[in-house]
A and B are shown apart, each in its own frame.
Chain A
């Protein structure tokens, strides 16, 4: 069973640029959630995708957008980068069976984004 993988590991961008981060779900999982972890903070929920559709969003501006593909991998896109976007970006995959049980999230190692 393959775990959650993310690419790239590290990325350096300048203000105003655009960035795309990628996440491959754990095998058999159909849901991906993205979190932003700023330095010295806990992860904060950005949004979630279930079966290629957005399934919830946190308090992040529209310049944070995402995609989920038929193989359930996912991308996080950030436009017009700001210095405060510097953070570790984590994705987590889970299997949503549309039941009432909590669906455990499995986290990837993260992508460290630095905005200069």
Chain B
């Protein structure tokens, strides 16, 4: 069965510092991988996705993520965090085709301090 683990429930970083949010997945084949962000009271916004090809993917708002098959990981990074990045971040995995639903991790809450 597919599963996603986000080991960090809450992370606090200083504004301007670098960020890495961890995501590990369990899936029997090459998955589609996603990172979503959710601001308080908002729905989910897609930051980036990995389907195939280059294992380093660029997303919106200066985020990037690297797919590492050997580690079953898809960690999200940002070189310099802004206060507006404070939000909940969800990693999700999906299968190769069709409309099969996404499986989400429990999320990591990011706080940004001055």
B106 in the interface, Cβ–Cβ < 8 Å?
A: yes
Other-chain residue from B4, B98, B107 in contact with A103 (beta carbon distance below 8 A): B98
Shortest C-beta distance, A34 to chain B (Å), equals 9
B-contacting 9-mer, from A11-19, A50-58, A61-69, A70-78 = A50-58
Flag if A96 contacts B42 (CB, 8 Å): no
B105 to chain A, nearest CB (A): 5
Whether A101 is near chain B, meaning CB under 8 Å from some CB there, is yes
Q: Is the CB of A56 within 8 A of B102?
A: no
Which residues of the other chain, A, contact B99 by a CB distance below 8 angstroms?
31, 33, 48, 50, 55-56, 94, 96, 103
A102 with B94: in contact, given A44-B104, A48-B101, A55-B99 (CB under 8 Å)?
Answer: yes
Whether B90 sits at the interface, judged by CB under 8 Å, is yes
- Which residue of the partner chain A has the closest CB to B49? A104
How big is chain B's contact interface, by range? Answer: 20 to 34
B103: chain A residues within 8 A (beta carbon)? 45
Q: For the complex formed, measure the closest distance between the CB of B71 and the CB atoms of chain A, giving whole angstroms.
A: 21
Let me know if B106 and A42 touch, CB within 8 A.
Answer: yes
Of B4, B46, B96, the contact of A104 (CB 8 Å cutoff) = B46
A106 contacts across to B, CB distance below 8 A: 46
Mind listing 14 A-B residue pairs with CB under 8 Å?
Answer: A40-B106, A42-B107, A43-B90, A43-B104, A45-B102, A56-B99, A56-B100, A96-B98, A100-B96, A102-B96, A107-B44, A107-B45, A109-B43, A110-B43
* Chain A residues, Cβ within 8 Å of B94: 102
State in angstroms the CA–CA spacing of A108 and B101 once bound together. 15
Q: Which residues of chain B from 47 to 70 have a CB within 8 Å of any chain A CB?
A: 49, 51
Of chain B, the residue at the smallest CB distance from A9 is: B41
Q: State whether A102 touches B97 (Cβ < 8 A).
A: yes
Partner of B90, one of A40, A42, A50, A56: A42
Identify the closest chain B residue to A110 (Cβ).
B43
The CA of A58 and the CA of B47, in the complex, are separated in Å by 25
With both chains docked as a complex, state the minimum distance between the C-beta of B102 and any C-beta of chain A, in angstroms.
7
C-alpha gap A109/B43 in the complex (Å): 4
The verdict on A41 contacting B43 (CB below 8 Å), with A101-B97, A102-B96 known, is no
